[in-house]
């Protein structure tokens, strides 16, 4: 019979040792000041293994026969795998216009490209690259050797990634015609990536910390491009710096490194050449012996246009317990609360603690696991308990949109804006929804509202419920969308 685990980590003398070991093994310094969040995750494994308490569970982790397997299950429990196809339009625009064309030009003789997506979660990132490279190479593709490696610490994510099967949620940034081009539809809203893209990517389990102790596979070298996006945000700043240095050493000279959208750090400039691309930063490994050169802004490759106008559809923002970002000024989102009591544009106090935070976390977890309808049902219960939560109505809108319930989505975004008229992401998503449904005038108005509100903030200000998106990004994205509408109008 399963023993009930210790009910409270504060009563368990071995919890600090277990926590220290987890941080040391996974790098997840994020949990340093989040005992209750960590306990919630660890408790499930303690319970599942029938360990009496943390000390018993530590014995299990140290067990010669079963320890490795248990570590793997624990890592699966404590890692966060939010991802979707073509996540962060600016970075994919930079890849499409500058970085991949550069690799193609430089490797034209050898006709070989090696890419590593480190911390790839369920595979949307390396598969997006496979799609992009295939499109860019066109008829030449068959004569090139493309190798894209996806690695992650979480075995369960990798198992999902290898299948190449995705739900609408992971494909939410992809217009239906592109989805039909790259995937074959299966039952129940599932889509299977076509074999020509799947075959370019292979997946392996790999802990990034192994780069620091010399146990990383020797063949992880000579990559033309490494992406390590939204992984290092969980790590201690010192570890981040060491890992970035180690990732640089896995690149060929002049090879590219892309970190997360909100992860640039001034100290990286001492390690690599920082390259400023529209809306994003990238890094390059300087040639052997060269001092890190000053920041560059390479021209956009003129002959290579994007596959389609950059689209940026709903994103489900990360959990509320967001780890610290490297840039403190950008880390603190502008607080939000129902603004009816405040003049427009005023800095608002943080929302009152109403308990919707844990509901939001549960909603996000369900949605990210692909259970969109269940996530929406949970969101509905949250709204019943807290009908004036602008955030819950906003999520309800995103989820309704992912379920193709456009009228519901519109109503929810509007309710959210009614409760908080300064909610930039709600205006933005309402605008995109209306444009996608051919309602140009109100769509343009909503986007303009988002841009106007974003203009009142510093460019680098990270927006609430925006998945790391900054005020400056929203302004730039609104311009892209309005230009695309104008261009379509001119063509029609
Ligand atoms: C938020 S996801 C990012 C996925 C993808 N890079 C993206 O941006 O869409 C973070 C991923 O990093 C992985 N991860 C966390 N710690 C890791 C470690 N020490 N080594 C390798 N992967 C790790 C997690 O399992 C998770 O899949």
In a domain, 459, yes or no: yes
Which CATH number do you get for residue 115? 3.40.50.150
Mean pLDDT of 426-447: 90
For 478, residues 6+ apart whose C-beta sits below 8 A from its C-beta are: 428, 431, 447, 448, 450, 451, 454
The angle formed by the CA atoms of residues 81, 82 and 84, to the nearest 5 degrees, is: 120
> Between the ranges 128-142, 229-243, 355-369, where is the mean pLDDT highest?
128-142
Is any ligand 1 atom within 6 A of the Cβ of residue 263?
no
* Bridge partners, 184 (sequence order): 192
Q: Per the structure block, which two tokens stand in for 481? A: 């969308």
Q: Residue 311 in contact with residue 173, Cβ under 8 Å? A: yes
Strand order in the sheet with 273-277: 201-205, 145-152, 112-118, 223-228, 251-259, 280-284, 273-277
- For residues 366 and 47, what is the distance between their CA atoms, to the nearest angstrom? 22
Same domain, 229 and 163: yes
HSE (side-chain half, CA atoms, 13 Å) at 295? 11
- For residues 441 and 438, what is the distance between their CA atoms, to the nearest angstrom? 9
Output the pLDDT for position 44: 92
Q: Per the structure block, which two tokens stand in for 163? A: 């299948």
pLDDT-wise least confident of 13-17, 296-300, 468-472, 488-492? 296-300
| Residue 357 pLDDT level (bands cut at 50, 70, 90) | confident
| Residue 193 pLDDT level (bands cut at 50, 70, 90) | very high
Is any ligand 1 atom within 6 A of the Cβ of residue 157?
yes
Number of domains comprising the chain: 3
Same domain, 104 and 197: yes
Output the pLDDT for position 143: 97
d(CA 126, ligand 1 centre) in Å: 12
| Residue 491 pLDDT level (bands cut at 50, 70, 90) | low
SS3 (DSSP) at 85: coil
pLDDT at 288 over 80: no
In a domain, 251, yes or no: yes
Domain of 47?
9-78
CB count in 10 Å sphere of residue 106: 14
d(CA 119, ligand 1 centre) in Å: 3
Same domain, 117 and 54: no
pLDDT at 413 over 80: yes
Is any ligand 1 atom within 6 A of the Cβ of residue 170?
no
Probe residue for ligand 1, chosen from 21, 23, 79, 201 as the CB with the greatest number of ligand atoms within 8 Å? 79
| Residue 3 pLDDT level (bands cut at 50, 70, 90) | low
> Between the ranges 138-152, 164-178, 396-410, where is the mean pLDDT highest?
138-152
- Rg, the chain, Cα only: 23
Same domain, 475 and 433: yes
Output the pLDDT for position 351: 40
Sign of CA dihedral 263, 266, 269, 273: positive
Same domain, 373 and 463: yes
pLDDT for 313-344, tens place per residue?
333 343 333 333 333 333 333 334 333 222 23
How many whole angstroms from its chain centre is CA 470? 14
Same domain, 74 and 93: no
d(CA 121, ligand 1 centre) in Å: 5
Output the pLDDT for position 336: 40
pLDDT for 62-115, tens place per residue?
999 999 999 999 999 999 888 999 988 889 999 999 999 999 999 999 999 999
Same domain, 25 and 74: yes
In a domain, 2, yes or no: no
pTM for the complete prediction?
Answer: 0.67
Is any ligand 1 atom within 6 A of the Cβ of residue 477?
no
What number does the ligand 1 atom closest to the CA of 121 have?
A: 27
In a domain, 476, yes or no: yes
Which CATH number do you get for residue 399? 1.25.40.10
- For residues 127 and 200, what is the distance between their CA atoms, to the nearest angstrom? 8
In a domain, 321, yes or no: no
Output the pLDDT for position 320: 35
pLDDT at 161 over 80: yes
SS3 (DSSP) at 317: coil
| Residue 486 pLDDT level (bands cut at 50, 70, 90) | confident
Sign of CA dihedral 387, 391, 397, 399: negative
In a domain, 23, yes or no: yes
The angle formed by the CA atoms of residues 157, 162 and 163, to the nearest 5 degrees, is: 105
d(CA 329, ligand 1 centre) in Å: 24
Is any ligand 1 atom within 6 A of the Cβ of residue 104?
no
């Amino acid at each position: 019979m399963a023993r009930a685990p210790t009910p409270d980590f504060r009563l368990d003398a071995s919890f600090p040792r277990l926590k220290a070991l987890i941080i040391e093994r996974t790098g997840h310094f994020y949990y340093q000041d989040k005992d209750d969040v960590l306990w919630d995750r660890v408790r499930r494994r303690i319970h599942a293994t029938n360990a009496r308490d943390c000390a018993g569970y530590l014995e299990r982790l140290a067990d010669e026969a079963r320890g490795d397997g248990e570590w793997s299950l624990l890592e699966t429990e404590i890692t966060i795998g939010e991802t979707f196809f073509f996540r962060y339009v600016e970075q994919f625009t930079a890849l499409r216009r500058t970085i991949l064309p550069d690799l193609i030009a430089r490797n034209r003789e050898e006709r070989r490209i090696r890419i590593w997506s480190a911390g790839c979660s369920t595979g949307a990132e390396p598969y997006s690259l496979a799609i992009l490279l295939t499109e860019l190479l066109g008829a030449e593709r068959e004569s090139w050797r493309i190798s894209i490696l996806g690695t992650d610490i979480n075995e369960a994510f990798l198992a999902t990634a290898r299948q190449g099967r995705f739900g609408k949620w992971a494909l939410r940034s992809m217009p239906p015609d592109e989805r039909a081009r790259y995937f074959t539809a299966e039952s129940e809203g599932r889509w299977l990536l076509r074999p020509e893209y799947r075959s370019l990517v292979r997946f392996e389990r790999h802990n990034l910390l192994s780069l620091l102790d010399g146990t990383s596979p020797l063949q992880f070298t000579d990559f033309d491009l490494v992406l390590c996006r939204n992984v290092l945000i969980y790590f201690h700043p010192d570890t981040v710096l060491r890992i970035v240095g180690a990732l640089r050493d896995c690149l060929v000279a002049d090879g590219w490194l892309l970190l997360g959208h909100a992860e640039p750090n001034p100290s990286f400039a001492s390690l690599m050449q920082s390259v400023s691309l529209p809306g994003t930063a990238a890094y390059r490994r300087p040639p052997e012996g060269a001092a890190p050169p000053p920041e560059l802004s390479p021209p956009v490759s003129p002959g290579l246009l994007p596959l389609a106008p950059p689209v940026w559809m709903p994103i489900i923002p990360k959990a509320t317990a967001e780890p610290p970002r490297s840039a403190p000024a950008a880390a603190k989102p502008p607080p939000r609360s129902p603004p009816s009591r405040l003049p427009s544009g005023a800095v608002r106090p943080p929302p009152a603690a109403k308990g919707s935070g844990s509901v939001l976390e549960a909603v996000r977890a369900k949605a990210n696991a692909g259970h969109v309808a269940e996530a929406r049902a949970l969101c509905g219960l949250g709204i019943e308990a807290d009908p004036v939560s602008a955030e819950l109505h906003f999520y309800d809108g995103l989820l309704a949109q992912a379920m193709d319930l456009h009228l519901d989505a519109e109503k929810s975004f509007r309710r959210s804006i009614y409760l908080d008229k300064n909610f930039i992401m709600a205006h933005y998503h309402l605008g995109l929804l209306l444009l996608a449904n051919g309602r140009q005038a109100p769509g343009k108005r909503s986007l303009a509202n988002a841009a106007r509100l974003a203009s009142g903030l510093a460019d680098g200000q990270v927006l609430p419920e925006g998945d790391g998106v900054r005020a400056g990004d929203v302004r730039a994205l609104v311009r892209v969308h309005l230009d695309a509408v104008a261009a379509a109008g001119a063509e029609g």
